[in-house]
């Protein structure tokens, strides 16, 4: 079975954009690959989080949410990045084969350093090298990510080539596997759904909360009156229908919106009900999972991850001709 690795930052709270854009895909992929899923808490340290919870609390909440969405510890390995020293150790070694110029080019570095001008730290700069270590430690051939991470995966390939050429062929070059769902826009219709922009529907929202959030949501800006035909292609809620509604509802909305046969109020009610149906079992499972149980899953995951990561690191040390311990 081919190996796969992906990572997610413990940002505080998952929203339906993360679910459709990444997590649902992770759940499907665990049947096709030997999958490793990592909560990247060390990456989260590169910025000051506005969330009130500590990094540890955010980490366990994220792991709990992933399990509630259907990650199955019997099928895949779920673990926390900082529970293995191998990640930071390999990151250091890879720092030594990564050109500064490449890191300056990274779009995420440019974006984040303009968003966090008070805190442009070295970690933010070398973030993609730690990400490369996450991936290369597991010799993963596939890395499921969104469009915005493709540049980091390309860099990971380059870092792998540089190490292999300078020392010894140790690393497999990974490939990005793009999620089929495109970017899910926020309820304001302006930008991608995100917690910081406050335009999200939290994954754990109940039906009332979902309806309340959908009511004022931006739709097709050209549809001013109920009698104006709408265009599902431009409406930012239609991708949510595609993610959560059964096929006949999707087709019905697509057709009736264009002919002004369904109004946005009714369309949003239908969407809210469909979302609630998918999310209710996730919310229930989230609240049923105790911290002790999740800690146990993560401990077990770290052990399984270490079995693979430590072997790769051995080869790296040997390849780089470091003195034996
Ligand atoms: N940088 C990724 C993001 O912001 C998170 C991440 C860290 C990651 N390590 C990874 C993704 C390894 C894939 C593989 O979404
Ligand atoms: Fe969007 Fe639905 Fe309104 Fe059409 S009817 S514009 S799909 S909310």
Q: pLDDT by residue (tens digit) across 41-57?
A: 999 999 999 889 999 99
Judged on CB neighbours under 10 Å (0-12, 13-18, 19+), 190 is: exposed
pLDDT at 182: 65
Which three-class secondary structure state does DSSP give residue 71? coil
Nearest protein Cα to ligand 1, atom 6:
7
Q: Which residue has the higher pLDDT, 184 or 103?
A: 103
Out of 187, 214, 262, 269, mutate this one to test ligand 2's pocket (max ligand atoms within 8 Å of CB): namely 262
Superfamily of domain 207-285: Tyrosyl-Transfer RNA Synthetase (1.10.240.10)
**Which of 172-181, 190-199, 239-248 has the highest average model confidence (pLDDT)?**
239-248
Which three-class secondary structure state does DSSP give residue 4? strand
Is 124 touching ligand 2 by the criterion CB < 6 Å?
Answer: no
DSSP state of 40: -
Distance, C-alpha 94 to centroid of its chain: 23
pLDDT classification of 164: cutoffs 50, 70, 90? very high
Contact 136, 87 (CB under 8 A): no
pLDDT over 70 percentage in the chain? 100
Q: Where are the domains of the chain?
A: 3-184+290-319, 207-285
pLDDT at 183: 73
Q: How far apart are CA 160 and CA 173, in angstroms?
A: 6
pLDDT 10s digits, 93-121: 999 999 999 999 999 999 999 998 999 99
Q: What tokens were used for 40?
A: 């990247």
pLDDT at 271: 98
Is 313 touching ligand 1 by the criterion CB < 6 Å?
Answer: no
What is the pLDDT of the chain when averaged over all its residues? 96
Nearest protein Cα to ligand 1, atom 15:
8
Say which residues have a Cβ less than 8 Å from residue 206's Cβ, sequence separation at least 6. Answer: 276, 280, 283
Contact 285, 68 (CB under 8 A): yes
**CA nearest neighbour of 6 among 140, 125, 155:** 140
Considering only 58-67, 170-179, 187-196, which range has the smallest mean pLDDT? 187-196
| Domain spanning 3-184+290-319, CATH architecture | 3-Layer(aba) Sandwich (3.40)
pLDDT at 242: 95
Q: Which residues have a catalytic role annotated?
A: 112, 192, 195
Which three-class secondary structure state does DSSP give residue 222? coil
Contact 67, 21 (CB under 8 A): no
Ligand with the closest atom to the CA of 219: 2
Say which residues have a Cβ less than 8 Å from residue 173's Cβ, sequence separation at least 6. Answer: 157, 160, 161
Q: Which residue has the higher pLDDT, 197 or 8?
A: 8
Dist. CA 8 → ligand 1 center (Å): 6
Element (H, E) at 241: helix 238-244
pLDDT surpasses 80 at 196: no
Q: Which residues pair with 36 in a beta bridge?
A: 5, 77
Is 149 touching ligand 1 by the criterion CB < 6 Å?
Answer: yes
Contact 153, 174 (CB under 8 A): yes
Dist. CA 165 → ligand 2 center (Å): 54
Is 217 touching ligand 2 by the criterion CB < 6 Å?
Answer: no
Q: How far apart are CA 55 and CA 61, in angstroms?
A: 10
Nearest protein Cα to ligand 2, atom 5:
264
Strand-strand pairing, 77-80 and 34-39: parallel
Say which residues have a Cβ less than 8 Å from residue 304's Cβ, sequence separation at least 6. Answer: 77, 79
Find the angle CA(301)-CA(303)-CA(308) to the nearest 5 degrees: 100
Q: What tokens were used for 298?
A: 């993560």
Mean pLDDT over 34-41 rounds to 98
Contact 16, 203 (CB under 8 A): yes
pLDDT surpasses 90 at 195: no
Say which residues have a Cβ less than 8 Å from residue 10's Cβ, sequence separation at least 6. Answer: 39, 40, 41, 44, 55, 58, 59, 61, 62
Q: How many H helices and E strands in the chain?
A: 14, 5
Mean pLDDT over 28-48 rounds to 97
pLDDT 10s digits, 256-309: 999 999 999 999 999 999 999 999 999 999 999 999 999 999 999 999 999 999
Q: Which atom of ligand 2 is nearest to the CA of 241?
A: 7
Dist. CA 40 → ligand 1 center (Å): 7
Q: How far apart are CA 205 and CA 283, in angstroms?
A: 8
Q: For residue 154, give Cα distances in angstroms to 145, 174, 297.
A: 12, 9, 31
Which three-class secondary structure state does DSSP give residue 307? helix
pLDDT at 13: 84
Distance, C-alpha 82 to centroid of its chain: 17
């Amino acid at each position: 079975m081919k190996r796969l690795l992906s990572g997610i930052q413990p940002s505080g709270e998952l929203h339906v954009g993360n679910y459709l854009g990444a997590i649902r895909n992770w759940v499907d992929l665990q049947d096709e690959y030997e999958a490793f899923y990592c909560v990247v808490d060390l990456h989260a340290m590169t910025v000051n989080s506005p969330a009130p919870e500590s990094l540890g609390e955010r980490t366990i909440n994220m792991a709990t949410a992933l399990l509630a969405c259907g990650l199955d510890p019997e099928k895949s390995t779920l673990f926390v990045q900082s529970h293995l020293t191998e990640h930071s150790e390999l990151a250091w070694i890879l720092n030594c084969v990564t050109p500064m110029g490449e890191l300056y080019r990274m779009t995420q570095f440019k974006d984040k350093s303009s968003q966090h001008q008070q805190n442009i730290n070295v970690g933010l700069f070398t973030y993609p090298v730690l990400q490369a270590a996450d991936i290369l430690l597991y010799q993963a051939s596939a890395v499921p990510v969104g469009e915005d991470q493709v540049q980091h995966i390309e860099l990971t390939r380059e870092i792998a080539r540089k190490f292999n050429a300078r020392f010894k062929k140790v690393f497999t070059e990974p490939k990005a596997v793009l999620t089929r769902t495109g970017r899910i826009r926020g309820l304001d219709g302006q930008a991608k759904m995100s917690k910081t922009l406050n335009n999200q529907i939290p994954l754990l929202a109940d039906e009332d909360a979902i309806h309340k959030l959908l009511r004022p949501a931006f739709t097709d800006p050209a549809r001013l009156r109920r009698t104006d035909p709408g265009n599902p292609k431009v409406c930012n809620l239609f991708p949510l229908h595609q993610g959560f509604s059964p096929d006949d509802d999707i087709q019905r909305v697509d057709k009736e919106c264009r002919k002004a046969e369904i109004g946005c109020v009714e369309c949003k009610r239908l969407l809210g009900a469909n979302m609630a149906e998918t999310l209710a079992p996730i919310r229930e499972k989230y609240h049923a999972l105790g911290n002790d149980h999740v800690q146990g899953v993560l401990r077990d995951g770290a052990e399984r991850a270490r079995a693979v990561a430590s072997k790769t690191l051995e080869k790296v040390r040997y390849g780089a001709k470091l003195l034996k311990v």
